[in-house]
């Protein structure tokens, strides 16, 4: 079965240069976080983004989340938020390694998806010690 990832939310929060991205149709929106994020900020930012762009959570919508390596708390918060959305909206959740992404832009993210560098199974966080 071919994996189709059309529209997605990408959570790229590992404790430095944190950002999230939203791809809808052929548009890509990025939100940069200026300071260290916490659970509440991340959730509120995602909620605002999906409300603003009227996201339809269907079976073609996915979440991509950076598994690290990164700060323990940032990676934990990202995974918790992503898993919460996955469970509540019944959508696909994929994880990727920070080293596989490169610069945060749509071309690189689509390359990541094409190369299947994302895992659908249990997401294993990688923390920096």
- Relative to beta strand 27-32, strand 61-66 is unpaired
pLDDT over 90 at 120, yes or no: no
Residues ≥6 apart with Cβ < 8 Å to 65: 10, 11, 78, 79, 82, 93, 94, 95, 96, 123
- Could you give the C-alpha distances from 105 to 29, 39, 87, 109, 120, in angstroms and in order? 10, 24, 27, 6, 21
Per-residue pLDDT reduced to its tens digit, 50-100 = 999 999 888 889 999 999 999 999 999 999 999 999 999 999 999 999 999
Higher pLDDT, 123 or 39: 39
């Amino acid at each position: 079965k071919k994996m189709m990832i059309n529209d997605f939310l990408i959570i790229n929060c590992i404790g430095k240069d944190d950002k999230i991205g939203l791809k809808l149709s052929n548009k890509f929106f990025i939100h940069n976080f200026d300071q260290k994020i916490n659970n509440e900020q991340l959730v509120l930012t995602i909620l605002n983004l999906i409300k603003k762009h009227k996201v339809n959570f269907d079976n073609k919508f996915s979440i991509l989340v950076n598994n690290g390596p990164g700060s323990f708390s940032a990676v934990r918060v990202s995974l918790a938020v992503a898993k919460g959305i996955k469970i509540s909206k019944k959508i696909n959740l994929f994880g990727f390694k920070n080293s596989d992404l490169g610069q945060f832009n749509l071309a690189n993210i689509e390359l990541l998806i094409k190369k299947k560098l994302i895992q659908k199974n249990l997401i294993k966080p990688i923390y920096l010690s």
